[in-house]
Each structure stands twice: as structure tokens, then as C-alpha cells.
Structure 1
Amino acid sequence: MSTSDLLSLMPLVIISGSAVIAMLLVAIKRNHRIMHAFSVLAFMAALLSLFVQPYAVPYIIAPLFVVDAFALFNTGLILLAGLSVLFLSFKYFEQREERKEEYYILLLLATVGGMVLVISQHFISLFLGLETMSISLYGLIAYLRARERSDEAGIKYLLLAALSSAFLLFGMALVYAFTGTMEFEGIGAYLKQAGTVPVTVVAGFGLMVIGVGFKLGIVPFHMWTPDIYEGAPLPVAAYIATVSKGSMLVLLMRFYRDIDGYEYTILWWVFAIIAMASMFVGNWLALLQQNVKRLLAYSSIAHMGYILIAFLAGQLAGQEAVIFYLVAYVITSIGAFGVLAILSDKIRDAELLDDFSGLFWRHPWLATVFTGMLLSLAGIPLTAGFIGKFYIIAAGVDAGLWLLLILLIVNSVIGLFYYIRIIAVMFQPLTDNTPTLTRQALPFFGVFALSALMGLLIWLGVYPSALISLIREMMLTMG
């Protein structure tokens, strides 16, 4: 490996090496504070290493990886999301009796998998990154073994993820059998030269959609989402909602662009139907929930449907809208789950709607942050979610996706109802019968992370032009 190769992969090398060192630290002496501090330093070092990358041109590490502005941006987003989850994790696990140190090893390894996905241009690196992340998530989801639903959630994810990986692998095998290559651009060149897509390749793409759809949690591959969100520790649920889904979405964008997927009508209609179903199923099922974790799970299904509209719009405007909305979604999802994590005590999570009754009068700052995150998810002005949804609509108008846009507006109104319902509960007056969890003091790291996320939420809602310009330059260099 050359020096340039090493510099290009430096964030990945740092996080991978940190996972190995973390294992040695646990073997020498168990200490939760040391493991947390070491993991935070590892993520910060990886973030700093992004600034020594060859930005000028895409850097190819044949045949598996491509390091371009698109990959670097999304690697930074993954690292920032992981760092935010780390800040929210310390107090959440500190108050629990289970051994905590291995959690950070698994989180580092899951992040390695996500980072491999966003720089992949080959089926082998795709599958290695996906499995590295998935296997780590098995342990993370079932980490709190003393909890009633934790083992159940871990086993469900294990079985369903293994099944979806089998579909994905079989689909890749079919595509390789006919195209003779596993590189994304090579597959695109073969299909362009062939003129028509063989039926077997179409079948292969269909099987791959199943594997990708499972990771994105879109309909009809969404059934795992509420159970896993409910059973997983809250920081892990935040990680799955953001890093796991975001890295797969980025990979899908690169693969779709390299094979010129917008030229194939059948693929467009498959994703269009999935987008419509995800919006309706996610929002209608969220309306029925009294458990806030399950509500956010169904909400995430709907938001994946919104993102797919911008994805289907294609061209530069659609790609910009996908990335901007992804950034806004990462901020709001981690912020929302972070509030739940801070409010949770050592006995159970803050997940029932009644747990938030009168929250504004007990913890005004947390209620304000949670309100901001929910309003952003609903797409209310002055939040990042509003700007993201606006750009999705603008991209859809440019592409003439009128049916999808009408359904998006209808579903946004439906979503507004259940977000406002939670806000109304938080502002209810306190009574003697108001249920409260035992936690009183707010953790420093958690408050710091939520404050930073709230600042980003408002900044992107009021002044989005800086991020939009950065995304536009990035997409132009991507081609």
C-alpha cells in the first residue's frame, strides 16, 4: 500500500486500529470512563484525518474503493453521528449493571462497516462492509441482556439480517454471472453496451433491492424496525436510524449512478412504489402508537419514503436534496433518541407517551430540544427538516413527479398530527398523578451533544446556503 493509499484510508485505519486497541484495553483493565474517553478520541482523530485527504480528484484504490468528495463528506457525517451517539451513551450505560466496555468495541466495528460502505465501488467491499456492520449490530441490539425485549430484538435482527444478506448475495451472483464483473462502473458499462437488460440481471437487481431495502427499513422490508428500536438500547436505536440507514443510502446512490439506473424504467417504478408504500405505512402505523420508540421507528420508515422521492428525481438537484435531507434526518433522529436516552433511568427507558407528560415543567431544556427535533421531523419552518423537505419538493417539481409530491404533502400532514401530540403531552400541567422516572440530574455529555445538535438544527433551518454550496460542489466533482 502506497502513502497516498494510506492517507486516503486514514479515517478507516484509525477506527479499525482503535477497535483492536480497545480490545486490548478491556483485556488489561475494565474501566468504563477510559473506554468512553478512548472511543471519543478515536472518533475525533478520524475526523481530523479527513483534512489530509486528496480532495482534488477522486482517488481510486483498485478494485474495491473510491475516495472522492462524496465519500469523504459522508464519512465525516458517519463519524459525527457516531461521536454524538458516544456522548449520549456514557451516562445511559454508566447507570446499568451490565459490563459496559464491549459496547464501545462493537460501536467502533459497526462504524468501520459503515465507512467501508460509503467508499465501496465493488460487490466484495459492499458485502464486507455490510456484514461488518450487521454482525456488530447483533451484539449492540442485544447488549442489555437483563432487559425483557433485548435478546428477542437481537435474535430477530440476526435472523432477518442474515436472510436479507442471502438475498443480496444471490442477487450479486446473478449480476456477476452475466456481466462478468463486480465493479459498479463495469456493470454499468456492460449494460450500456448490451443495450437491453437480461432478465437474469433484472432478477439479480430485484434480489439486491430486498437486501438494500431491509437495511433502509422501507416497505415491505420494514417489519423488523419497530421491534428492534423498542428492544435495543436507546443510543443503539439512534445509531441504527442514522449510521446504518445512511451508509446504505449513500452506497445505493453510488451504485445507481454508476450503473446509470435512471435509464431503466422498471427500477424507477420499483422504487416509486416502495416510496409511496413507505410513506403511507410508516405514517399510518405511527398514528396508532403509544410507545415513542415505536413511533419514531415507524416515522423513520416514512422518512425513507420521502428521501426516495428525491432519489428518484435524479440529476443534480435530486442528489443534492437526498444528501441535505440525510444530514437533517441524522441531526433530528439522534437528537430525538438522545432526549429519550437522557430521561431514561437504570430500570427502564423513557419510551411511553406518559413518561413525557409535563416534561416542560420538569426539564424545560429537554422539552425544548425534543420539540425542536419533532418539529424538524414534521418539516416546520426554521428547522433543518423544513429546508430538507423543501428541496425534496423542488427536486420533484423539476423532475415532474407530481403524484409522489402530492402523496408526500398528504403524508406530511398525517405525520404532523402525531408529532404535535407528543409536544402537547410535554406541555401538559403537572399533577400529583403525573408519572416520572427516577432520573433527576442531567448528564454533562448528553446535554452538550443535544445542545450542539439543536444549534445545527436551527442553523441549517435559518442559514442552509453554506451546506447546500458544499453539497453542490461535492456532487459536481462526483460527476
Structure 2
Amino acid sequence: MSTSGLLSILPLLIISGSAVIAMLLVAIKRNHRVMHAFTVLAFLLAFLSLFIQPYEVPYMIAPLFVVDAFALFNTGLILVAGLSVLFLSFSYFEQREERKEEYYILLLLATVGGLVLVISQHFISLFLGLETMSISLYGLIAYLRKRERSDEAGIKYLLLAALSSAFLLFGMALVYAHTGRMDFSGVGASLQAAHEVPASVVAGFGLMLIGVGFKLGIVPFHMWTPDIYEGSPLPVAAYVATVSKGSMLVLLMRFYRDINGYEYTILWWVFAIIAMASMFVGNWLALLQQNVKRLLAYSSIAHMGYILIAFLAGLHAGQEAVIFYLVAYVITSIGAFGVLAMLSDKVRDAELLEDFSGLFWRQPWLAAIFTGMLLSLAGIPLTAGFIGKFYIVAAGVDAGLWLLLVLLIVNSVIGLFYYIRVIAVMFQPLRDEQVQAKRASLPFFGIFALSALMVLLLWLGIFPSGLIAVIRNMMLTMS
């Protein structure tokens, strides 16, 4: 491989090499602070390496990978999300009795899988990236073995992820049997030459959608989401909600574009029905929750439905809206789970509504951050979530998706209700025992990460033009 080729995948090489070094560090001596600092350094170096990419972008590493502006942008998003999760992880695991060092090895390996997914253009690299991430997530989800529901969540994810991978492989086999190609553009060219899509390929796409739909947590493949969010450590839940879903969404966008998916009416209707079902099921079930973890889980299902509306709006405005909304969703999801992590103790997580009673009077800055994140998820002005939702509506209007847009507005109103309910609980007067309780000090790294996310949330909500310009230029140069 040439120097340009090595530079193009340098972030992936740094994270992969760091996972090996991390294992050696654990073997030599266990030290939570050293492992955390080393992992943070690895993510920072990988992110900085994005700025020394070769001039010849896009760069093809045939037949598995393509490194273009689209891949580089989403690689950066994954690394920033992972770094944010790392800052929230130290204090969360420091107060727990379980051995903590292996957590960082698993996080590095899961990130390797996500980075492979965003540069994949071939079925083999798709499957390798997906399984690397999934196998790491099995351990991450069940990491707190002494906690109730942790092992249960890990086993559920293991069984369902294995089943979805089997469907994905079978679907790939059916597509390959007809087209004789495994690269995305080759599959698209073969289908274009055939002038019609045979039933076996439609079945193959349907089976692949099961595997992709499981990772995205969309209806009807959403059943795992609330249980896994509830049983996982809070930083892991944030990681699953953002990096895992985001990397799969990026891969879906590339695959759909390369096979000219917008030309096939049946695929459009399948995604439209899934989008409508995800919005309604996610929001209506979130209304019933008293557990904030499960509320955020069902909320994430609805947000995947919103993103699918932009996804269906077409190649240009639609995919630009998907990426902007994904950035806003990553910021708000990590911020929301981060607040829960800051309020948790070594006995249990802060996940019930009553845990947030009077939070504004106990921890005003945390309450302000959580309020901002929830308002962004609801799509209230001056937040990144509002601009993202506005962008989706604009793309939908441009594409004439009137039914989907009406349903989006209806479901946004439903979502606003349960977000406001959580905010109202935070502003309740303090009870006697809460007044007498000493205000706990908050860890520096966690507050730093949450404050940075809050600034980003407001910055993108007030001055979104810079990011929009970057996304627009990126999509124009996408190979």
C-alpha cells in the first residue's frame, strides 16, 4: 500500500493499534487513570490525523474501502462522540468495584468497527465492521455484572444481534447470487443493466434491511432498544445510541446511493412505512415511561423515523438534512445520557423520574444542560435539534413528502409532552430531605464534556450556516 493509502486510513490504524497497546498495558499493570488517559490520547491523535489526509480525496482502497469527504466527516463525528463518551466514563466507572480497564479496550474495538463501517463500499468490509462493533458491544452492555438487568441486556443483545447478522448474510448471498458482485457500485451497475429487479434480489434487500434495521433500532426491529438502554452502563447506552446507530446510518446512505435505491419504488415505500411506524410507536411508548432511560430509548426510535423522512427526500437536500440531524442527535443524546451519568452513584443509576425531582435547585447547571438537551430533542428554537428538524421539513417539502411531514409534526407535538414532563419534574420544589442533603461535587471531566456539548448545541442552533456549508460541499464531492 502507498503512503497515501496509509494516510487515508490513519485514524483507523491509530485506534486499532491503540487497542493492542491497551491490552498490553492491562497485562503489565492495571491502572484506571492510565488506561483512561491513554484511550483519550488515542482518540485525540486519531482525530488530529484527519487533518493530514492525502490531497487525492476520494482515495480508493479497492475493493473494500473508499475514503472521501463523506467518510472523513463521519469518521470525525464518530471520534468526537467516542471522546465525549470517554470523558463521561471515568467518574462513572471510578466509583464502581468492577475491574474497569477492559472497558476501554472494548470501547476502542467497538470504535474500530464503526470506523470500518463509514468507509466501507463492499459486503465483506460491511460485515467485518459490523461484527467487530457488535462483539465489542456484547461485553460493554453487560460490563457491570453485579447489576440487576445487566447480564440480561447483554444476552438479549447477543441473541438478537446474532440473528440479525444471519439475516444480513443471507440477504447478501441472495444479492450476490444474482449480480455476481459484492461491491456496492458493482451491485448497482448490475441492477441497472438488468432493467428490473428480480424477486430474489428484492428478498435479499429485505433480509439485509432486517440486519440494518436492528442496528438502527427502527420499527419493527426495535424491541431490544429499551431493555438494552436500561441494562447498560450509562456511557455505553450513550455510545450505542450515537456511534452504533450513526455508523450504520452512514453506511446505509452510501449503499442506497451506490445502488441507485431512489429509483426503486418498492424500497421507497418500505422505508416510508418504517418511518411512519417508528415515529408513532416510539413516541406513544415514550409517553408511558417513568424510567428516563427507557423514555430516551423509545425517543431514539422516533428520531430514527424523523431521519428516515430526510433519507427518503432524495440525494441532495435529503441527505444533507440526514447528516445535520445526525450531528444534532449525537450531541443531544450524549448530553442527555451524560447528565444521567453525572447524577448516578455506585449503587444505582439515576434513571427514575423521581431522581430528577428538584434538580434545578440541587444542581442548577446540570438541570440547565439537561433542559437544553431535552428541548433540542423536542425541536425547540435556538437549539441544534430545531435546525435539524427544520432542515428535514425543508427537504420533505422540496420532495413533496406531505403525508410524512404531517405525521412528523403530529409526532413532534406528542414528543414535546414527555420532554416537558421531565423538565417540569426538575423544577419542582425541594422536599425536606433534599433541602438538608449536601450538594454533591461534580467530576471535572464530566462537566467539561457536558458544557462543551451544551455550547455546541446552542452554537449550531443559532449559527448553523457553517456546518451546513461543510455538509453541502461534502455531499457534492461524495464519490
TM-score range, shorter chain: over 0.9
* Residue 377 of structure 2: aligned partner: 377
Secondary structure of the corresponding residue to residue 361 of structure 2:
helix
* Residue 291 of structure 1: aligned partner: 291
* Residue 147 of structure 2: aligned partner: 147
Cα deviation digits, residues 203-228 of structure 1 (max 9, x gap): 00000000000000000000000000
Q: Is the 8 A contact 1:340 1:349 kept in 2?
A: yes
* Residue 251 of structure 1: aligned partner: 251
Q: 2:437 and 2:107 mapped to 1: Cα distance?
A: 27
Q: TM-score scaled to structure 2, two decimals?
A: 0.99
Q: 1:402 and 1:311 mapped to 2: Cα distance?
A: 15
Q: Is the 8 A contact 1:344 1:439 kept in 2?
A: no
Q: 2:84 and 2:209 mapped to 1: Cα distance?
A: 30
The verdict on how the C-alpha distance between 1:377 and 1:435 changes in structure 2, with shifts beyond 3 A counting, is farther
Q: Does residue 431 of the first structure (1) align with residue 431 of the second (2)?
A: yes
Give the CA deviation at 1:6: 0.6
The verdict on how the C-alpha distance between 1:249 and 1:55 changes in structure 2, with shifts beyond 3 A counting, is farther
Q: Does residue 351 of the first structure (1) align with residue 358 of the second (2)?
A: no
The verdict on how the C-alpha distance between 1:222 and 1:460 changes in structure 2, with shifts beyond 3 A counting, is same
Q: 1:411 and 1:31 mapped to 2: Cα distance?
A: 47
Q: Is the 8 A contact 2:363 2:439 kept in 1?
A: no
Secondary structure of the corresponding residue to residue 478 of structure 1:
coil
Q: 2:284 and 2:95 mapped to 1: Cα distance?
A: 36
Stretches of structure 2 lacking an aligned partner (at least 5 in a row): none
Q: 1:30 and 1:432 mapped to 2: Cα distance?
A: 43
Q: Does residue 302 of the first structure (1) align with residue 327 of the second (2)?
A: no
Q: Is the 8 A contact 2:110 2:134 kept in 1?
A: yes
Q: 1:402 and 1:442 mapped to 2: Cα distance?
A: 46
Give the CA deviation at 1:200: 0.2
AA in 2 matched with 1:238: A
* Residue 121 of structure 1: aligned partner: 121
Secondary structure of the corresponding residue to residue 316 of structure 2:
helix
Q: Is the 8 A contact 1:55 1:69 kept in 2?
A: no
Q: 1:310 and 1:319 mapped to 2: Cα distance?
A: 7
Q: Residues 83-122 of structure 1: matches in 2 within 5 Å?
A: 83-122=83-122
The verdict on how the C-alpha distance between 1:58 and 1:415 changes in structure 2, with shifts beyond 3 A counting, is same
AA in 1 matched with 2:108: L
AA in 2 matched with 1:149: R
Q: 1:200 and 1:327 mapped to 2: Cα distance?
A: 36
Cα deviation digits, residues 324-365 of structure 1 (max 9, x gap): 000000000000000000000000000000000000000000
Q: Is the 8 A contact 2:362 2:439 kept in 1?
A: no
* Residue 229 of structure 1: aligned partner: 229
Give the CA deviation at 1:57: 2.8
Q: Is the 8 A contact 1:335 1:369 kept in 2?
A: yes
Q: Residues 2-21 of structure 1: matches in 2 within 5 Å?
A: 2-21=2-21
Q: Is the 8 A contact 2:167 2:210 kept in 1?
A: yes
* Residue 183 of structure 2: aligned partner: 183
Cα deviation digits, residues 118-152 of structure 1 (max 9, x gap): 00000000000000000000000000000011000
* Residue 24 of structure 1: aligned partner: 24
State the Cα RMSD in Å.
1.1
* Residue 239 of structure 1: aligned partner: 239
Q: 1:109 and 1:178 mapped to 2: Cα distance?
A: 34
Q: Residues 71-470 of structure 1: matches in 2 within 5 Å?
A: 71-432=71-432, 440-470=440-470
Q: 2:389 and 2:76 mapped to 1: Cα distance?
A: 22
Aligned residues: 479
AA in 2 matched with 1:456: L
Cα deviation digits, residues 84-106 of structure 1 (max 9, x gap): 00000000000000000000000
Q: 1:394 and 1:438 mapped to 2: Cα distance?
A: 49
Give the CA deviation at 1:55: 4.9
Give the CA deviation at 1:432: 1.7
Q: 1:30 and 1:15 mapped to 2: Cα distance?
A: 20
Identity of aligned residues (%): 87
Secondary structure of the corresponding residue to residue 290 of structure 2:
coil
Secondary structure of the corresponding residue to residue 66 of structure 1:
strand
* Residue 48 of structure 2: aligned partner: 48
Stretches of structure 1 lacking an aligned partner (at least 5 in a row): none
Q: 1:55 and 1:319 mapped to 2: Cα distance?
A: 25
Q: 1:47 and 1:355 mapped to 2: Cα distance?
A: 36
Q: Is the 8 A contact 2:213 2:221 kept in 1?
A: yes
Q: 2:394 and 2:237 mapped to 1: Cα distance?
A: 31
AA in 1 matched with 2:157: Y
Q: 1:287 and 1:395 mapped to 2: Cα distance?
A: 28
Q: 2:431 and 2:150 mapped to 1: Cα distance?
A: 33
Q: 1:469 and 1:436 mapped to 2: Cα distance?
A: 51
Secondary structure of the corresponding residue to residue 315 of structure 1:
coil
AA in 2 matched with 1:473: N
Q: Is the 8 A contact 2:257 2:315 kept in 1?
A: no
Cα deviation digits, residues 229-277 of structure 1 (max 9, x gap): 0000000000000000000000000000000000000000000000000
Q: 2:61 and 2:204 mapped to 1: Cα distance?
A: 26
Give the CA deviation at 1:433: 5.3
Secondary structure of the corresponding residue to residue 189 of structure 1:
helix
Q: TM-score scaled to structure 1, two decimals?
A: 0.99
Give the CA deviation at 1:56: 4.6
Q: 2:394 and 2:211 mapped to 1: Cα distance?
A: 30
AA in 2 matched with 1:131: E
AA in 1 matched with 2:386: F
Q: 2:46 and 2:21 mapped to 1: Cα distance?
A: 15
Q: 2:52 and 2:186 mapped to 1: Cα distance?
A: 29
Find runs of 4+ consecutive structure 1 residues off by over 4 angstroms: 433-439
